[in-house]
């Protein structure tokens, strides 16, 4: 039985072991779960060995990963797994299900450098430890040569990847903005399109950078819930009538978390309007609280003279 285990470990090529080597904090390391699989140990036994011999494992030999580093490893592994269907990690994981690389917030895995693994191999009492250690050391050497040879290429690829991500992000923002502009110039909603109508109003609210001016005679707390989607620094002014079902207490509670909201009463308006940053206005054919209950339209008004007249009315 022991000979079979040893034969299995000896047959693992250095390249496959190399797939278990990561660069973290500028060091080439292996995770405790992968080391445990190679040595045919339980991960907790590996960690117990380190705990009992702390003086033998300084920071340049072994260190605990942070949650941010674990998330980055997950991201890297997702990219690698698309290109390497027979990745050694899949074989290693199949050996011991309990040796998952990522075991949640309560457990932060250990990372071993080449020196740390060499120290660990001298403490493990198992017949395959010597040959496995030789294989691991060879894999570290080969990986180091590979990185030294191809380092400049990886740096350029990383730079290109970040630039592409930035471009994708900017393109997505511009594309989404175009979609919003197209959607709100003129839209008709029919009875039952409640979600679509509310979604569009929220998109409008999110566009404001400084101020939202709402004119609606029938405001209630459902409108306040929609206004929680605004940008944090945006001021909100609501002109409404005495018929509104909105209380001073509602306004006070809203302002404690999403300042600043002001409500004033007037009977000078019949229609509903939303004005953004004193320069962009939307006419609503229904009260905001009744969106989607009956057929109505939303129209964007682009004449600045009309906008200025409504604001000063």
Span 124-141, pLDDT tens digits? 766 666 667 677 777 777
Axis-axis angle for helices 2-10, 129-185 (nearest 10):
60
**Distance between CA atoms of 285 and 22, rounded to whole angstroms?**
59
Question: DSSP letter string over 198-210?
Answer: HHHHHHHHHH-SS
Axis-axis angle for helices 114-123, 43-52 (nearest 10):
90
Overall average pLDDT of the 112-119 stretch: 87
Which phi and psi angles does 18 have, rounded to 5°?
A: -60, -30
CA atoms within 13 A on the CB side of 85: 0
Overall average pLDDT of the 77-104 stretch: 43
- Kindly tell me if the per-residue pLDDT of 117 is higher than 80: yes
pLDDT attached to residue 71:
84
**What is the token pair recorded at 147?**
């990185």
- Kindly tell me if the per-residue pLDDT of 109 is higher than 70: yes
For residue range 93-103, list pLDDT tens digits in order. Answer: 333 344 455 45
**Distance between CA atoms of 286 and 171, rounded to whole angstroms?**
34
Closest among 36, 140, 20 to 89, alpha carbons compared: 20
Which phi and psi angles does 246 have, rounded to 5°?
A: -135, 130
The dihedral through the CA atoms of 175, 177, 180, 181 has a sign that is negative
Provide CB contacts within 8 A for 163, sequence distance 6+.
Answer: none
pLDDT attached to residue 163:
57
| Residue 84 vs residues 19, 95, 141, 167: alpha-carbon distances, Å | 10, 19, 22, 27
């Amino acid at each position: 039985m022991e000979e079979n285990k040893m034969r299995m470990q000896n047959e693992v090529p250095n390249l496959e072991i190399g797939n278990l080597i990561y660069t973290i904090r500028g060091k080439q390391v292996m995770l405790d779960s992968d080391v445990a699989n190679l040595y045919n140990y339980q991960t907790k036994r590996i960690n117990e060995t380190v705990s009992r011999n702390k003086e033998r494992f300084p920071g340049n030999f072994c260190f605990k990963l942070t949650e941010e580093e674990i998330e980055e490893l997950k991201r890297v592994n997702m990219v690698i797994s698309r290109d390497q269907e027979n990745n050694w990690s899949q074989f290693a994981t199949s050996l011991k299900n309990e040796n998952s690389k990522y075991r949640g917030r309560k457990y932060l895995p250990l990372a071993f450098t080449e020196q740390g693994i060499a120290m660990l191999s001298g403490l493990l009492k198992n017949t395959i430890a010597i040959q496995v250690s030789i294989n691991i050391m060879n894999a570290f050497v080969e990986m180091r040569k590979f990185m030294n040879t191809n380092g400049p290429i990886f740096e350029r690829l990383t730079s290109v990847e970040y630039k592409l991500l930035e471009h994708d992000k900017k393109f997505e923002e511009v594309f989404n903005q175009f979609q919003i502009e197209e959607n709100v110039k003129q839209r008709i909603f029919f009875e039952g399109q409640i979600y679509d109508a509310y979604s569009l109003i929220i998109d409008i609210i999110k566009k404001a950078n400084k101020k939202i001016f709402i004119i609606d005679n029938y405001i209630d707390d459902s409108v306040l819930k929609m206004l929680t989607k605004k940008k944090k620094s945006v001021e909100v002014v609501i002109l409404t009538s005495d018929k509104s079902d909105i209380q001073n207490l509602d306004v006070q509670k809203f302002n404690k978390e999403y300042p600043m909201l002001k409500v004033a009463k007037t009977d000078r308006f019949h229609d509903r309007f939303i004005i953004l940053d004193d320069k962009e206005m939307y006419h609503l054919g229904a009260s905001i609280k009744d969106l989607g209950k009956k057929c109505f339209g939303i129209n964007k008004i682009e004449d600045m003279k009309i906008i200025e007249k409504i604001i000063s009315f």
